[in-house]
Structure 1
Amino acid sequence: MDSGFGYFATHDAVGPGRLAQLVEQRGHQALLFSEHTHIQAAGAPPVRPDGGRLPRKYWHTYDPFVACTAAGLATTRLHVGTGVCLVPQHHPISLAKTVASVDDLTGGRFEFGVGAGWNEPEIRNHGVDPSRRFAVMKEHIEAMQRIWSHDEAEYHGNFVSFDPIWSWPKPSRRPYPPVLVGGTGPRVFERVLAYGDGWLPNYSPGVLERVRELFRLAEDAGKPVRVVMLSVPPDPAVLEACEKAGVARAMAWLPSAGLDRVQRDMDAFEAALAEMRGE
């Protein structure tokens, strides 16, 4: 099991390039960036899905693909990616080019974490009906996969439709970067098996039993999948349980803060990893 971090890259915290260098120097494998294009200013105060108050970092984030490019060009081995890209809030032809461009510029080190979003006003402001967001995401990803893997790509669905197009660059990683499907809803495994290469859940009590369930379903379907776990606490027992369950990568969230605070949180996670590994 390897390791990495998730990060809300904001304009008033450690920059993505500097942080990526630090993560790579410390021997971790990946850095994933969150996305919110905006947060509504009117109406009821925004809250997180768990009911907690929404931190200001949600409306101060850099574009994750710009952050990924900065991080990727500042490093040589580190995988960079989205954790997660809110796919329904993008046009699939444009997003396909963005993903392919970042993957090409980073030498095939991009990982595409995807989600449909949860903040309904934000989703509506992008012209998407929140009740159809998962169906929209499915078609957007299928259309992008067609663009990445075909010289002349064509797609016709209920939400996306285009006749044959040319679009380059193609991703460096063939046929395209790994699609890691976020979320822990009851139908998430359908999405992973339909168009994903892996699952990208946040850690919570009981989630490791679901990891085992996914592996059983994937084996029945004859489809290899991997699990990348976000929000893993700096707890050796939790890390050991993740490794035993078959998690490929454990990732902790870093604070959107200055360098000293970020390094303290990295130290705590690394100490837990070392204890788990018996180092």
Structure 2
Amino acid sequence: MKFGILLDHQYERGDDIARRTSELVEYVQHIRDLGYDSVFGIHHYLSSLSTPQPLPLLSRLIDHSGRMELGTGILILPLGHPVHWAEEIATIDQMSGGRFVLGIGAGYREDEFASFGIERRTRVSRMNEALEVMQRLWTGEKVTHHGKHFDLDGVRCSVLPVQEPGPPVWVGANGPIGIKRIANQGLPWLAPSNVRRNWAVGNLADYREQRRASGFGEEGAVFPIHRDLCVADSFDEAYAIAGDAVRRSYGEYVQYGMDYFESQWEGIKRKALFFGSPDDIAVKVQDFAEAGFNHFVFRAQWLGLPMERSMEIVERFASEVMPRFRT
């Protein structure tokens, strides 16, 4: 069982990014010392919030992260060229000594695709083709590729990742069609944070069945999931600490067409958040672990929540919940 942290590096416009980055350095040092296994960054362009880009941020954090894996959760792969991504990611894998995890997704925000001059309807095919090209570039051989979206003529990547044949790839998806596609590729499905327990567990079962049907075994397989985490003495106390902040953070997505964060909030609040006492959280982790999830990536930061509270949350989980799942 592994436990990681998702950094919520989204801030009000005009905030002091240098100060916030220094905060994140201290936060990552803290979770490193507490024994967490991984740390991930998020990715968006042109956001309503000031959102530092993940690859430069993760590069800043390499020397403060110990032996933790570092990764993107997720990188919107269709918005970039595979040559660019391949060399950037190989560089950060080299700098981290082979600790990078490439979490990718197809994206969904219309303004991002429109601003890049990319048709949103092509996002899945662009993501799959880009990943294929990147993985070929990481072999170190010359690559000639003439696809639907990208053309390369006998080019070779100038820097290769430490990990062979490349960094592990996790793929995010929020619907059955996307989840089935990921299973057919034999790649880990990164389950989203905001979905209710039965949806996450049911889709994981379907994903695993399809994965096996496609000929992929489960030895050493990773089944990751994002969850929002607040550990206190009770659910009500946890919600009093972080409820307004987490709801405010999710509220930012409403403007991008995700109005269910507003209309379905009570269900999300009760059935998706990992909020509660240490015993409550341990029961939730055990439940999801029995369903097959084995790498929990927790978010304990949200808009307006002081960093001190986030520090306390990850510390309490590490001291009162994590030991129950370490062997």
TM-score > 0.5 by shorter chain: yes
Matched, 1:219 2:212: yes
1:28 CA drift (Å)? 0.5
How far apart are the structure 2 equivalents of 1:267 and 1:199? Answer: 28
Provide the secondary structure at the position in 1 that maps to 2:20.
coil
1:258 CA drift (Å)? 4.3
Q: Which has the higher helix share?
A: 2
> Is 2:103–2:169's contact at 8 Å kept on the other side of the alignment?
yes
Q: Counterpart in 1 of 2:246?
A: none
Q: Counterpart in 2 of 1:9?
A: 9
Q: Counterpart in 1 of 2:292?
A: 246
How far apart are the structure 2 equivalents of 1:154 and 1:193? Answer: 27
Q: Counterpart in 1 of 2:309?
A: 261
1:278 CA drift (Å)? 9.8
- What CA RMSD, in Å, does the superposition of the two structures yield over aligned residues? 2.2
| Segment drifting more, 234-243 vs 168-177 | 234-243
How far apart are the structure 1 equivalents of 2:182 and 2:80? Answer: 20
Matched, 1:273 2:321: yes
Change (3 A) 1:162 1:31: same
- The one-letter amino acid of 1:247's match is F
> Is 1:17–1:72's contact at 8 Å kept on the other side of the alignment?
no
- The one-letter amino acid of 1:13's match is R
Q: Counterpart in 2 of 1:236?
A: 282
Q: 2:26 aligns with which of 15, 18, 21?
A: 18
Q: Counterpart in 2 of 1:36?
A: 44
How far apart are the structure 2 equivalents of 1:136 and 1:262? Answer: 36
> Is 1:141–1:195's contact at 8 Å kept on the other side of the alignment?
no
How far apart are the structure 2 equivalents of 1:278 and 1:82? Answer: 25
Q: Counterpart in 2 of 1:111?
A: 101
Provide the secondary structure at the position in 1 that maps to 2:137.
helix
How far apart are the structure 2 equivalents of 1:113 and 1:77? Answer: 18
Unaligned stretches of 5+ in structure 1? 40-55
Matched, 1:200 2:195: no
> Is 1:3–1:251's contact at 8 Å kept on the other side of the alignment?
yes
> Is 1:230–1:250's contact at 8 Å kept on the other side of the alignment?
yes
**TM norm structure 2:** 0.74
Provide the secondary structure at the position in 2 that maps to 1:226.
coil
Q: What is the CA deviation profile of residues 24-62 of structure 1, one whole-angstrom value per residue up to 9, with x for unaligned ones?
A: 1110000110011212xxxxxxxxxxxxxxxx5xx3121
Q: What is the CA deviation profile of residues 183-237 of structure 1, one whole-angstrom value per residue up to 9, with x for unaligned ones?
A: 2212223432354631111142221122122222222222244211102524222
How far apart are the structure 2 equivalents of 1:194 and 1:253? Answer: 29
1:129 CA drift (Å)? 0.8
Q: Counterpart in 2 of 1:179?
A: 169
Structure 2 counterparts to residues 11-160 of structure 1, below 5 A = 11=17, 13=20, 15=22, 16-39=24-47, 59-160=49-150
**Alignment coverage as a number of residue pairs:** 261
- Percent same amino acid at aligned positions? 22
Q: What is the CA deviation profile of residues 130-184 of structure 1, one whole-angstrom value per residue up to 9, with x for unaligned ones?
A: 1111111111111111111242122221011111101121110100111100022
1:269 CA drift (Å)? 3.6
1:102 CA drift (Å)? 0.4
- The one-letter amino acid of 1:250's match is F
> Is 1:226–1:248's contact at 8 Å kept on the other side of the alignment?
yes
| Segment drifting more, 235-244 vs 265-274 | 265-274
| Segment drifting more, 204-213 vs 255-264 | 255-264
Change (3 A) 1:60 1:196: farther
Change (3 A) 1:278 1:64: closer
How far apart are the structure 2 equivalents of 1:275 and 1:166? Answer: 46
